[in-house]
Structure 1
Amino acid sequence: MGTRTIRRTSVALPSLEDQPGMYLSNVASLEGGRGRVAQFHYGDAALRTLDLADTHLMDGRITGLKTQRARLEKLRVDSVEFTGCDLASLHWSDSKVSRTVFHSCKLMGSTLEDITLDNVLFENCKLDYSTLTGIRATGPVIVSQCSLRETTFAAADLSAALLDDCDLRLTEFNGGKYIGMDLRGNNLSQLRGLASLKQVTIDRAQTLQMAEALAAELDVTYGDDLDDK
């Protein structure tokens, strides 16, 4: 099983090539018999709607999937790779995701609620304008080179998460637990909700960025600006 490591955080990747005799069969749908789809490849589908509930996706690849509206509920996702997917108007809730990679996916404007993440990698993805509520990282999570502009994390537990080289312009943290979350390698100057980010990990050089973000959040007035008037 391969891993992806950034600094002190390592994520276990899907083991699709590591299991002897595994063959991924092409499937025409993600709705499997008895609510289970295993050892599969689902690719290049363009759907008006995707409604999926009470399903276990295991050992598979989903590539180039595009939807106009997606609603996912009570899913279990184990050892799956999502690549180049565009899930518009995504609403995903009450699910558990483990050993899973999202690579170059568009999840803009998504609503993610009560999802447990364990060994999950988001890489080069767009999650702008999304709302993530009650997201729990029970194992390592890496978010690398992703865009999170104006994304809101509410009541999340991301203590086991690392964000690296991400666009965090107007990203907001609204309550939750983030102790130990690694924010090194990002520009933090436009974060919102800094009061929620107690005991996160940053570089000393980022202290000025957080001070800039706090000043903007408090809407302070600088005396030298007054003097120039």
Structure 2
Amino acid sequence: MKVDQPKIPQELSQVNFQDIYDEEDPHLNSCQITNATFDDEDMGRVELSKTVIRNSSFQNTKFRNIDLTDVIFENCDFSNGDLSEANIHRAVFKGCKLMGVNFSESRFGDVRFEECVLNLSAFGYANLKKVEFYNSDLINTDFYECHFNKINYLYCNIDGTSFDRTPLKGVDISTSQFRRLTVSLKELVGCKVSTEQAINFAAMLGLIIEDEFEPK
């Protein structure tokens, strides 16, 4: 699976996120933001396109219905933020803190989370297509009743993650680690797992596995 990368212009204007705070329809295009602090704010229907944001903090900020197209976030902190009902297309989150973020009912297309912390984040009822989680922590993350299409979890920690009512057909978790998951046997059909993971799932089902067969 190849995730399409954000289309970013070579020349970007430097702006401050605070510049769009009072706008009726806040929008940023072809710009970059660095070292911004925008915590505990409430902004609805923000639109960002062809934008790079680095080393910035948006903790506890509400961005409901945010629209992100061709955007890169590097070393940003969205902890406990609200990005519900977001539309996120061709975006990269690299080295970001997304602990406890509410992504419920959001739509993702061609999105990559690289070396991010998404523990306790919630993706309930979200639609994810061509999304890759790489070398990231998703401990106790909730994917309740999501729609998945071409999703990979590569070298991630997904311990305690819930896939309740989310079919995992075509999803690759074979390189990721976990001790327990919330998932049903029906939802696991077609999921790509490693041999060790298959044994763990069998143990979760109460099967007794013998190392080798010895005829009597």
* TM class by smaller structure: 0.7 to 0.9
CA contact (8 A) 1:52 1:71 kept: yes
SS of 1:47's equivalent? coil
* 1:57 counterpart (28, 45, 48): 48
Give the match's secondary structure for 2:11.
coil
Instruction: Label 1:74 to 1:68 Cα distance change in 2 as closer, same or farther (>3 A).
Output: closer
Would you say 1:154 and 2:144 are equivalent positions? yes
Asked if 1 retains the 8 angstrom alpha-carbon contact of 2:46 and 2:63, the reply is no
Q: Amino acid of the residue matched to residue 133 of structure 1?
A: G
Offset, 1:24: 0.9
Checking the alignment, whether the CA contact within 8 Å between 2:172 and 2:193 is kept in structure 1 is yes
Identify which of 5, 9, 12 aligns with 1:24: 12
Q: Identify the match of residue 93 of structure 1 among 84, 96, 121.
A: 84
Structure 1 vs Structure 2: percent identity of aligned residues?
Answer: 21
Deviation at 1:202, TM superposition (A): 2.1
Aligned length in residues:
205
Runs of 4+ in 1 over 3 A off after TM superposition: 32-35
The alignment's TM-score, normalised by the length of structure 1, stands at 0.81
Structure 1 residue 188 displacement after superposition = 4.3
CA RMSD of aligned residues (A): 2.3
Deviation at 1:87, TM superposition (A): 1.2
Matches within 5 A, 1:203-222: 203-212=194-203, 214-215=204-205
* Contact 2:160 2:178 (C-alpha < 8 Å) held by counterparts: no
Q: Is 2:160 aligned against 1:167?
A: no
Out of 3, 11, 24, the residue aligned to residue 3 of structure 2 is: 11
Separation in 1 of the partners of 2:7 and 2:17? 22
Contact 2:118/2:141, CA 8 A, preserved across alignment:
yes
Aligned counterparts of 1:23 and 1:64: Cα–Cα separation in 2: 19
The superposition leaves residues 170-212 of structure 1 with CA deviations (integer Å, 9 ceiling, x where unpaired) of 1111112322111121124422223333321223443113224
Q: Is the 8 A contact 2:17 2:36 kept in 1?
A: no
Secondary structure of residue in 2 paired with 1:211: helix
Structure 2 residue aligned with 1:69: 60
> Are positions 1:182 and 2:178 aligned together?
no
Query: For 1:103-161, what per-residue CA distance to the aligned partner results, in whole angstroms no more than 9, with x for missing partners?
Result: 000011122111111100000000111221111123x1110000011111101112321
Structure 2 stretches of 5 or more lacking a match?
209-216
**Structure 1 contact 104–125 (Cα < 8 Å) conserved:** yes
Asked if the contact 1:189/1:210 (under 8 Å) is kept, the reply is: no
CA distance in 2, matches of 1:69, 1:120: 22
C-alpha contact 1:108 1:127 (8 A) present in aligned 2:
yes
CA contact under 8 A between 2:86 and 2:103: conserved in structure 1?
Answer: no
Matched residues in 1 for 2:167 and 2:149: separation?
6
1:109 equivalent in structure 2: 100
- Distance in 2 (alpha carbons) for counterparts of 1:127 and 1:189: 17
What is the Cα deviation at residue 44 of structure 1?
0.7
- Matched to 2:8, the amino acid is L
Q: In the alignment, is residue 119 of structure 1 matched against residue 107 of structure 2? A: no
In 1, the alpha carbon distance for the partners of 2:28 and 2:181 equals 40
